[in-house]
Structure 1
């Protein structure tokens, strides 16, 4: 499982690349080199200069030492014009860095400095067009996932999902195309669009359903109790 430090450094790596590469940057870019699948932590493309850079994040020494990709013939240094290793400050020395790679360090305030400059690879194994396509795909997927997660976050953290009596789903209407939340029963198959002036019957299975939360009888009892308590206070 990815640690919080690794996730944070990966994001900082994308921001750093954006300041250097300007055109296209993304995290978690899937690459294929010599039929081997790799996932680059961060990739940046400068289209005008026809230049690519890859960052591999290492949050711990253990992670660095067990990574065979960095030492192999088909590592990130072979795929792009420049490749870096990004670590917390003081984690690695310049002498430990594999040949060709640069070393970036992030301090406690996320300021990144170049400790060791990378050596340019004038003939990357991956064509720039391939990297552009892969990076663009990763950036698009990240945006769509972020938007869907923002709209569909379960604020209950799944506390009431056992033996649910109702679900909160996000559905897309086939007529007005608006995506809205709906409370449905588990066995329900159809819903009426709630958009003003629409009222189209929505077939749940075909409406890109995304379950935001589930509610069981305990939740309904707690909700009813809260409503009754509020009513008592209002009467007083």
Structure 2
């Protein structure tokens, strides 16, 4: 799972590239070079100069040392005009950085400084048009994801995912085109549209489901405790309820 530090550094790399490249920038850009799949942390395109720059983020030394792509023949330096490694200040020495890569350092105030300049690749192995397409696709996907996330952000950070009893998802109705939130069972195949004037049956897998979060037995127990404190209602644990009924029959 990506750390908060790595996410933050990627965003700062994007801002730095935007200031340098101006035209098109995106994070998590996926591409294939000579049948090898790659995902660049941040890519910037300058249409006028017809060049691309890639920034690979490293939040720790261990992350840097285990990255075989940086040391390989088909690394990020092979597909862009310029390639950089962005790290927290003092993480790497200039002599540790692969030959054609530049080194960027970021301080605690998010100021980025060029420590080592990259060597220009005059003949990238990937066409600029291909990188433009891939970067544009990544930028579009990021925008659409952000729009969806405004309504679908999981504020529990997956705290109740384990052995989930139900999922909170956002689904679009094919009839009224409204997108709403629904609590569904993990194996649910069909739900009824929440719009009162519609009531259309929605096939879950066709409604562009976006998983927001999940709820398990721990969630029900905590909800029950809060409900009791507020004197609202009690969500009875189905397992305990079954046990109580069994005990009553025995007695």
TM-score per shorter chain, which class?
0.7 to 0.9
Matches for 1:27-38 after TM superposition, within 5 Å: 27-38=27-38
What's the RMSD between the two structures over aligned residues?
Answer: 2.8
Q: Hey, what does 2:85 align to over in structure 1?
A: 85
1:189 aligned partner: 190
Structure 2 unaligned segments of length 5 or more: list them: 234-251
Matching residue of 2:236: none
The answer for unaligned runs of 5 or more in structure 1 is 231-236
Shift of 1:81: 0.6
**Matched-pair contact (CA < 8 Å) for 2:24–2:136:** yes
**Partner of 1:200 in structure 2?**
200
Partner residue in 2 for 1:143: 143
**Greater CA deviation, 182-191 or 45-54?**
182-191
Deviation at 1:214, TM superposition (A): 3.2
Per-residue CA distance 1:145-194 (angstroms, 9 max, x = gap)? 33333322334444387563x65332211122121113456657331341
Equivalence for 2:228 = 225
Q: For this pair of structures, how many residues does the alignment match?
A: 228
1:125-140 superposed matches below 5 A: 125-140=125-140
Give 2:6's aligned residue.
6
Of stretches 172-181 and 206-215 in structure 1, the one that deviates more from structure 2 is 206-215
Distance 1:77 1:161 in 2: 41
Determine the structure 2 residue equivalent to 1:171.
171
Q: Equivalents in 2 of 1:226, 1:29: separation in Å?
A: 49
8 Å contact kept, 1:160–1:219: no
Q: After superposition, what is the alpha-carbon deviation per residue over 1:178-214, rounded to whole angstroms, capped at 9, x for unaligned?
A: 211134566573313416x444343334222334343
Distance 2:14 2:151 in 1: 24
1:192–1:202 Cα contact (<8 Å) kept? yes
Partner of 1:94: 94
> SS of 1:105's equivalent?
strand
Aligned partners of 2:185, 2:194: CA distance in 1, in Å?
16
**Preserved contact between residue 189 and residue 203 of structure 2 (Cα < 8 Å):** no
Q: Measure the CA separation in 2 of the matches of 1:167 and 1:67.
A: 36
Counterpart of 1:208 in 2: which secondary structure?
A: coil
SS at match of 1:27: strand
Q: TM-score, normalised by structure 2?
A: 0.78
TM-score (norm 1): 0.82
1:214 is matched with: 215
Structure-2 residue corresponding to 1:159: 160
In 2 relative to 1, CA 183–86 (structure 1 residues): closer, same or farther, beyond 3 Å? closer
Hey, what's the Cα distance between the residues in 2 that align with 1:171 and 1:51?
Answer: 41
